[in-house]
Structure 1
Amino acid sequence: MTDERTAPDDRTKWRAFAICVSVAALTILDLSKVNVGLPSIEEALDAGPTALQLIVAGYALAFGLILVPAGRYGDLHSRRRMFMIGLSVFGAASLACAVAPSVGVLIGGRILQGIAAGLLMPQVIGLIQQLFVGKERGRAFGLFGAIIGLSTAFGPTLGGLLIAIGGPEDGWRLLFWMNVPLAIILLPIAARLLPKQQPHEAGAGSLDPVGIVFLGLAVLSLMLPFVLTTGSPGDDPARWWLLVAFAVFAGLFAWWEGRYQRAGKTPVVDFSLFKLGSYRNGVLISTTYFAAMPATFLTLTLFVQQGLGLEPVFAGMITIPFALASAVSSWLSGRVVDRLGRPLVVGGLVLVVVGFSLNSVLAFITPPEITPYAMGAAMLLAGIGGGAVISPNQTLMLADIPVASGGVAGSIGQLGQRIGTAVGLAAATATFYATVYSENGGDASGASLDVYHDAYRNSTLVTIGFVVVALVFALLDARSRKVAAVAPDSTK
């Protein structure tokens, strides 16, 4: 079945797109808005460093675990059905977080939220693939990227505002309460507008439960050591042995998938997708880029709240310039990505490196009363570049993917982002707190501004390093595309 024959009319598909992107924004907001609530949660629920790390990274861990099987199920059966289930679970999990009486219940609710987000996001990507074709798909992903960029960067501001409204003790609960009525409102609208039919792979069969188990164990053993990394002296070094388990489970997964495919069945991950250079390189770029972005927002928030003493609502406002710039840049990039291609992403990554580097320098050299404004200006520059990365890369990554495989292909890309998020958060926050502990005599309390300057500088070097790796992948992809474009001419 072709794209054109399954696509609804323009008005209906843009309404369906609005529902998809609204729900995607909710899931991404919960990656960033909770950051500013961590000091309040720490005080209200007596949460330690590991618990706080689990509240943030546990969401990303659960998100990553469920992505690929959820995408595969949606491709095989019904993206609409999975979307409805995911949104219902997300609303219920948000309610559990909002009323959590203890940090343990809050962590459990956050993990359930992550599972729901993992159910939702592959369906969103798959539905966009299904609803739009050609240049219109680029524009849709451009708008999608703009809204996701706004959600990521406005999250801390929104979180700080909600804490200011609710008060320092219980304001953090509003971070989760806000999701509940939104989920209730969106459910019946989604049921009415999302397409009830979709194209399927020829001969598509079972869900490959053994492959799903091996993949889940591999992802869990890869992400968990990073999720448990806080940078405090109490971190257990034995957690890194889990990476040995990851190597074992990843090998078992690859072996099983090959065996399953040779038997004439459809594996949970079609490794032939990675033969497509556009897809493979796009996944590598998004994975390393997302290792930098959430970690950047978190360490910035930690620095301005703990180092400069800013209130949460003002701490979140520093990212507003990034949000606005990335939204405009993403929308414009979506309109020209078909013409400019991968060099657009390369230019965006260069601007992000320059903006983040400038941000770190200004944080160090400006007077404390000027620092937030100077950092905001640097984040504006980074935001212009960021908008030229996410949505164009998404468009280029999925350009050669069949619509019937859109959900699982998108979910693998999202899995890379969640793995990158967990690794980046662990590396940056561990560097931040390790510097604080090291320079403050093993105690994080009462550290001076100079100590926080050093901690922020060191953590920023980590996040810039991830962006540079993404830039290398983008340059390699641009070069391979150029070679491929020239090769047919050379044979004439």
Structure 2
Amino acid sequence: MTSQPSRDAEKPQPPGATAAGGRAEARRWRALTICLVAGFMTLLDVSIVNVALPTVRAGLHMSNSGLQWVLSGYALAFGLVLVPSGRLGDARSRRAVFLAGLALFTAASALAGAAQDQEWLVLARLFQGAAGGVLVPQVSGFIQTLFEGAERGRAFGALGATIGLSTAVGPLLGGLLIHLFGPQDGWRWVFLVNLPIGVVALPIAYRLLPPPRPAAERAGHRDFDPVGVLLLGAGTVALLLPFVQGQQWHGPARWLLLPLAAVLLTAFVGWELHYARRHEPLVSMALFGVRPYAAGVLLSLVYFAGFTAIFFIFTLYLQAGLHYSALTAGLAVTPFAVGSGVAAAVGGRLVSRLGRRLVVLGLLLVLLGLLASALAVQLWSGPSVGWTTLGPLLVAGVGSGLVIAPNQTLTLQHVPRARAGSAGGVLQTAQRVGSAVGIAVVGSVFFAHAAGPHPDWALAFQLADTVASGLVLAALLVALADEWANQRENAGRTQVP
């Protein structure tokens, strides 16, 4: 029997239908491009600041605590607003929330670049992180809205490339800006570079992004669940704060926040289940009953703990241990960025055919690349280590490109469009929590062996790299478990008469 799509394809098309369809498709991809540009800008600011910290300290005479807040304040504010912002886009107007986030992020970048003292910069970074958290979940929401089927995989492949490139290119771009504008004020351009991008992107986004759905289509999704927002926000802060302040908040007292976080997040789950009986909750717990979604969120949490920490310890090893400049340290991680960007685009095209097996392959490559990096440092440590790790980082980058984009596609493919923003916000929150925990855990191993009058920088990197590899291995086990469950389900369906 001929399938319905085939019959439809054989029907004569009205004049101009093909041209109109082509214009609509081109508009969708242009809209995605402007989303990715804005998303790249916000995610870039997670990593670009790392190489600028020494010049920031010199330029504003900042304390260690102030420097830590420049990093952790952004991460805290970013993670705090992801889910509520995603829900706001679902319930109201995703385009309006995106534009507001982009405008606020651009303004916050200007404030950060103009900072005159420590307090000014810290507040600007908090503002900037919150604006980025408003913007980012709208990107995955737009992908869910604009694309279907194999096209959605390609779109998420482009988003995965953006995530990987923004993380890896940050140190390189930061080092280049400091090299061009000098150590005194070069750090300001780490923030000011966002201004022309934001100013140009705003009117283009307004013109290209689709308007909100009619109010009738959003009936039942307009409740904003303020109690859920407060419980999730407080629980997220209590969970993240001990990790992002690990280098400045010494002593065991900070770990008391973790039981508090568990209580708050448990209360959040209970409230959402109660609220869902009559209203649309902030996060539908039914999403976690869908195995691909639950597995994908868990995989993101664990993988980003290992993936993000590598850049943190590697740039520290190169700059503090081997006295690389900010620019050369950034160049050393470029192979990862190149591999990740290319592989993410390819992975987005293959995921609909290979499914979770593609993620398994990617995680194996990341694990191989990280272990080879540790071996390269063991055998050829010294000023030339940036060359000896080139091949291993390229392999790890290729693997990462096959993990992030395909996992995002597989995780969100069964999510209803009406919940695309909040579901994407949960996934992004898992990535941010994983990054904070990973940097704290892997960083503590690194600092434990890089301290004292005669630090062993190579050993510190190798041990920390091994811990990061263990986190990637945990993500691999999650992917394998999900793939085995898929195979059992498929076998069961095949055996049904």
TM-score, with normalisation over the residues of structure 2?
Answer: 0.92
> After the TM superposition, which residues 8-19 of structure 1 pair with which residues of structure 2 at under 5 Å, given as runs?
9-19=24-34
Which of 225, 249, 253 is equivalent to 1:208?
A: 225
> Structure 1, residues 301-335: CA drift from partner, whole Å, max 9, x if none?
10000111111001000111111111111111111
Compute the displacement of 1:290 (Å). 1.1
1:3 corresponding residue in structure 2: none
CA contact (8 A) 2:90 2:221 kept: no
> After the TM superposition, which residues 253-272 of structure 1 pair with which residues of structure 2 at under 5 Å, given as runs?
253-262=268-277, 264-272=278-286
CA contact (8 A) 1:201 1:405 kept: no
1:369 corresponding residue in structure 2: 383
Given residue 469 of structure 1, which amino acid in structure 2 is its aligned partner? A
> Structure 1, residues 372-406: CA drift from partner, whole Å, max 9, x if none?
11112210010111110000001111111111111
1:218 aligns with 2:218: no
Q: Distance in 2 between matches of 1:13 and 1:362?
A: 44
Aligned residue for 1:169, secondary structure, equals: helix
1:489 corresponding residue in structure 2: 494
CA contact (8 A) 1:225 1:240 kept: yes
Which of 113, 116, 125 is equivalent to 1:101?
A: 116
> After the TM superposition, which residues 277-288 of structure 1 pair with which residues of structure 2 at under 5 Å, given as runs?
277-288=291-302
1:415 corresponding residue in structure 2: 429
1:46 aligns with 2:30: no
Q: Distance in 2 between matches of 1:235 and 1:433?
A: 14
Given residue 252 of structure 2, which amino acid in structure 1 is its aligned partner? P
Given residue 189 of structure 1, which amino acid in structure 2 is its aligned partner? I
Q: Distance in 1 between matches of 2:163 and 2:271?
A: 35
Return 5+ residue gaps in structure 1 as ranges: 1-5, 442-446
Q: Distance in 1 between matches of 2:316 and 2:377?
A: 13
1:21 aligns with 2:26: no
1:349 corresponding residue in structure 2: 363
Compute the displacement of 1:47 (Å). 3.2
Aligned residue for 1:47, secondary structure, equals: coil
1:251 corresponding residue in structure 2: 266
> Structure 1, residues 113-153: CA drift from partner, whole Å, max 9, x if none?
11011100111110011111111111111122123222221
2:186 corresponding residue in structure 1: 171
Given residue 211 of structure 1, which amino acid in structure 2 is its aligned partner? G
Compute the displacement of 1:454 (Å). 2.0
> Structure 1, residues 189-236: CA drift from partner, whole Å, max 9, x if none?
111111013375552231000110011000010001101102x7x613
CA contact (8 A) 1:32 1:294 kept: no
Given residue 476 of structure 1, which amino acid in structure 2 is its aligned partner? A
2:480 corresponding residue in structure 1: 475
2:245 corresponding residue in structure 1: 228
> Structure 1, residues 24-69: CA drift from partner, whole Å, max 9, x if none?
1001111111111122223333334433332223212111100010
> Structure 1, residues 144-169: CA drift from partner, whole Å, max 9, x if none?
21232222211111110001011112
> Structure 1, residues 71-99: CA drift from partner, whole Å, max 9, x if none?
00100110000001101110111111111
Aligned residue for 1:167, secondary structure, equals: helix
Aligned residue for 1:106, secondary structure, equals: helix
1:319 corresponding residue in structure 2: 333
1:37 corresponding residue in structure 2: 52
Gap change, CA 1:45 and 1:462, over 3 Å in 2: farther
TM-score, with normalisation over the residues of structure 1?
Answer: 0.93
Q: Distance in 1 between matches of 2:478 and 2:126?
A: 32
1:378 corresponding residue in structure 2: 392
Compute the displacement of 1:491 (Å). 3.0
Aligned residue for 2:283, secondary structure, equals: coil
CA contact (8 A) 2:175 2:330 kept: yes
Which of 167, 177, 187 is equivalent to 1:162?
A: 177
2:468 corresponding residue in structure 1: 463
CA contact (8 A) 2:347 2:406 kept: yes
Q: Distance in 2 between matches of 1:7 and 1:96?
A: 42
Gap change, CA 1:8 and 1:206, over 3 Å in 2: farther
State the percentage of identical aligned residues: 43
Given residue 495 of structure 2, which amino acid in structure 1 is its aligned partner? S
> Structure 1, residues 247-293: CA drift from partner, whole Å, max 9, x if none?
2211221222122122x111101000001111110111111111122
Aligned residue for 1:9, secondary structure, equals: helix
Tell which deviates more after alignment, 195-204 or 147-156.
195-204
Compute the displacement of 1:111 (Å). 1.4
1:83 corresponding residue in structure 2: 98
1:61 aligns with 2:76: yes
Compute the displacement of 1:8 (Å). 8.1
**Number of matched pairs:** 475
Q: Distance in 2 between matches of 1:386 and 1:48?
A: 35
1:444 corresponding residue in structure 2: none
1:133 aligns with 2:148: yes
Q: Distance in 2 between matches of 1:436 and 1:83?
A: 42
Which of 453, 456, 459 is equivalent to 2:458?
A: 453
Which of 338, 342, 351 is equivalent to 1:337?
A: 351
Q: Distance in 2 between matches of 1:240 and 1:7?
A: 56
CA contact (8 A) 1:57 1:425 kept: no
Q: Distance in 2 between matches of 1:122 and 1:62?
A: 14
CA contact (8 A) 1:7 1:13 kept: no
Q: Distance in 1 between matches of 2:99 and 2:340?
A: 30
1:191 aligns with 2:206: yes
> Structure 1, residues 463-486: CA drift from partner, whole Å, max 9, x if none?
112111111110111111111111
1:394 aligns with 2:411: no
CA contact (8 A) 1:7 1:130 kept: no
User: In angstroms, what is the RMSD of aligned CA positions?
Assistant: 1.7
